[in-house]
Amino acid sequence: MATKKRHWFWNLLIVLTIILCGLAFASHSKNWTKVTPDKLQLLSGFYYKEIPFQDLDSIGWVERIPPMKRLNGFSAFEKGKGLYQEFKDSLTDKKVHVYVDNFEQQKIKVVYLDSQKLYVNLKDSLDTIELFDLLQSKLEIAAPN
């Protein structure tokens, strides 16, 4: 019995699809942060946010993020990433960026540009504390009392 050989194009397409899915999973697997002297950059998959330190208004710890409606993004297991909208701000249409790697740990609430909010934590709680200390020092430098 003769077997029909599959065309090379379909084999290549299958391999490229598997590689693309693997890269998408790896990029969403954690929050990638980069700190430059004047700004903080957060990247998680398709979601990217850049916050200049001069725009910081306040930062603080929160145990839980408030209930929000997900505009786009995902939450799976202990992760939540994407663009959300708070229920109480449904009339003003203010968006909240969420970069949470572990819902069980404390999150950093960052308020910038007077009313924009961002919630972030990293996979390792020590890295989250380190990020909080860095943001706190940049906030104190930018707005001394």
> Which tens digits make up the pLDDT trace of 7-65?
889 899 999 999 998 888 777 777 888 999 899 999 887 888 999 999 999 999 999 98
- Mind giving me the DSSP string for 52-114? EGGGEEEEEEESSPPPEEEEEEEEETTEEEEEEEEGGGTTTT-EEEEEES-TTS-EEEEEETT
- Is 117 in contact with 92 (CB distance < 8 Å)? no
pTM over 0.75: yes
**Cα dihedral sign, 97-32-133-80:** positive
Task: Evaluate whether residue 80 is within a structural domain.
Answer: yes
Q: What percent of the chain has pLDDT over 90?
A: 43
Task: Evaluate whether residue 8 is within a structural domain.
Answer: no
Task: Evaluate whether residue 6 is within a structural domain.
Answer: no
Range of the domain at 89: 32-142
CATH code of residue 137: 2.30.29
Two structure tokens written together for 135: 């943001």
Report the amino acid identity of residue 56: L
Give the model's pLDDT for residue 28: 75
Give the model's pLDDT for residue 117: 92
Give me the number of domains the chain comprises.
1
Task: Evaluate whether residue 39 is within a structural domain.
Answer: yes
